[in-house]
Amino acid sequence: MSILEGSNLAVATKTAFIFPGQGSQKVGMLAELAEQFSSVEATFAEASEAVGFDLWQIAQTGEGLNQTEFTQPVLLTASIALWRVWLELGGVTPKYLAGHSLGEYSALVAAGSLSLADAVKLVNLRGKLMQDAVPQGQGAMAAILGLDDAKVVELCQQASAEGKGSVEAANYNAQGQVVVAGSTAHVEAVMALAKENGAKAIALPVSVPSHCSLMKPAAEKFAEALEQTNIVMPNIPVIQNVNAEAAKDVNALRQALTAQLYQSVQWTKTLQYLQDQGVGFVAECGPGNVLSNLAKRLPNIEKALPLDTKSRMEDALNTILVAEGKIA
State pTM to two decimals: 0.93
pLDDT digits (tens, 9 = 90+) for 173-188: 999 999 999 999 999 9
Count the neighbouring beta carbons within 10 Å of the beta carbon of residue 221: 15
Strand partners, 246: 239
- Measured over all CA atoms, what is the biggest interatomic distance in the chain, rounded to whole angstroms? 62
What distance in Å separates the CA atoms of residue 122 and residue 255, rounded to the nearest whole number? 15
pLDDT of residue 104: 98
pLDDT of residue 137: 87
pLDDT of residue 327: 65
As a CATH number, domain 15-133+214-323 is 3.40.366.10
Segment (H or E) for 180? strand 177-183
pLDDT of residue 3: 34
**Active-site residue, from 101, 115, 166, 183:** 101
Q: Which fold has domain 139-207?
A: Alpha-Beta Plaits (3.30.70)
What distance in Å separates the CA atoms of residue 25 and residue 65, rounded to the nearest whole number? 8
pLDDT digits (tens, 9 = 90+) for 57-70: 999 999 999 888 99
Going from the C-alpha of 116 to that of each of 8, 45, 50, 148, 281, the distances in angstroms are: 18, 11, 9, 38, 26
Question: 3-class DSSP state for residue 171?
Answer: strand
Q: Is 211 a catalytic residue?
A: yes
What residues in the chain have per-residue pLDDT under 70? 1-10, 163-164, 327-328
Q: Is 213 a catalytic residue?
A: no
User: What are the structural domain ranges in the chain?
Assistant: 15-133+214-323, 139-207
pLDDT of residue 10: 61
Angle between helices 116-133 and 38-51 in degrees, nearest 10: 60
**Active-site residue, from 166, 210, 211, 264:** 211
Residue 295 contacts residue 31 (beta carbons within 8 Å): no
Using the CB atoms, write b or e for 89-114: b if 16+ within 10 Å. eebbbbbbbbbbbbbbbbbbbbbbbb
